[in-house]
Amino acid sequence: MLNESLKFPKADILVIDDTPENLNLLSAMLTEQGYKVRSVTKGSTGLRGANAVPPDLILLDVNMPEMNGYEVCQNLKANDRTREIPVIFISALGDVLDKIKAFAVGGVDYITKPFQLEEVLARIENHLTIRQLQQQLQAQNQQLQQEIHDRTKAEEKFAKVFRSSPNPIAIATVSEARFLDVNPSFLRISGYSLEEVIGHTATELDLGKNTVAFAQKIQLLPENGSLYNQEFEFSTKSGEVKIILISMELIDLAGVPCALLIVNDITERKRLENEFISLVSHELRTPLTSTMGALDLLGAGQLGTLTQQGQKVLSIATTNTERLMRLVNDILDLERMKSGKIFMRKAKCNVAELLITATEAMQAMADKLQVQLIVNPLTVELWADADRLIQTLTNLLSNGIKFSEPGDRVWIGAIVSESKTVESPENQHSLTKKNYPPNYVLITIQDEGRGIPEDKLQIIFERFQQVDASDSRNKGGTGLGLAICRNIVQQHNGKIWVQSILGEGSTFYVLLPLTD
CB neighbours of 420 closer than 8 A, spacing ≥ 6?
Answer: 428
The DSSP 8-state label assigned to residue 478 in this structure reads -
Smaller CB distance to ligand ADP: residue 82 or 395? 395
Which residue among 185, 190, 478, 487 contacts ligand ADP (CB under 6 A)?
478
When asked if residue 13 is in the footprint of ligand ADP (CB under 6 A), the reply is no
Task: Work out how close the CB of 476 gets to ligand ADP at its nearest, in angstroms, rounded to a whole number.
Answer: 8
Q: Among 357, 396, 417, which Cα is nearest to 496's?
A: 396
How many Å apart are CA 444 and CA 415, to the nearest integer?
8
Query: 231 and 211 in contact (C-beta within 8 Å)?
Result: no
Q: Among 278, 188, 190, which Cα is nearest to 232's?
A: 190
Which residue among 460, 496, 510, 512 contacts ligand ADP (CB under 6 A)?
460
Angstrom CA distances, 335 to 60, 204, 383, 485, stand at 96, 31, 24, 13
Which residue among 85, 482, 488, 489 contacts ligand ADP (CB under 6 A)?
482
Count of chain residues binding ligand ADP (CB under 6 A)? 22
Smaller CB distance to ligand ADP: residue 72 or 396? 396
Smaller CB distance to ligand ADP: residue 31 or 458? 458
Task: Work out how close the CB of 408 gets to ligand ADP at its nearest, in angstroms, rounded to a whole number.
Answer: 11
Strand order in 179-182's β-sheet? 179-182, 169-173, 256-265, 241-253, 227-235
Task: Work out how close the CB of 330 gets to ligand ADP at its nearest, in angstroms, rounded to a whole number.
Answer: 8
**Rule CB under 6 A: which of 433-452 touch ligand ADP?**
447, 449-450, 452
Smaller CB distance to ligand ADP: residue 140 or 474? 474
When asked if residue 467 is in the footprint of ligand ADP (CB under 6 A), the reply is yes
Smaller CB distance to ligand ADP: residue 259 or 480? 480
How many Å apart are CA 183 and CA 166, to the nearest integer?
9
Task: Work out how close the CB of 353 gets to ligand ADP at its nearest, in angstroms, rounded to a whole number.
Answer: 23
When asked if residue 49 is in the footprint of ligand ADP (CB under 6 A), the reply is no
Q: Dmax of the chain from CA atoms?
A: 138
Task: Work out how close the CB of 344 gets to ligand ADP at its nearest, in angstroms, rounded to a whole number.
Answer: 20
Q: ∠ CA(229), CA(264), CA(430), 5° rounding?
A: 75
Q: Tell me whether the omega of the peptide bond preceding residue 114 falls within 30 degrees of 0, making it cis.
A: yes
Smaller CB distance to ligand ADP: residue 204 or 455? 455
Strand partners, 444: 413, 509
Using the contact rule CB under 6 A, the part of the chain among 2-10, 49-57, 202-210, 394-402 near ligand ADP is: 394-402
Binding site for ligand ADP (CB under 6 A): 395, 399-400, 403, 447, 449-450, 452, 460, 466-468, 471-472, 477-483, 506
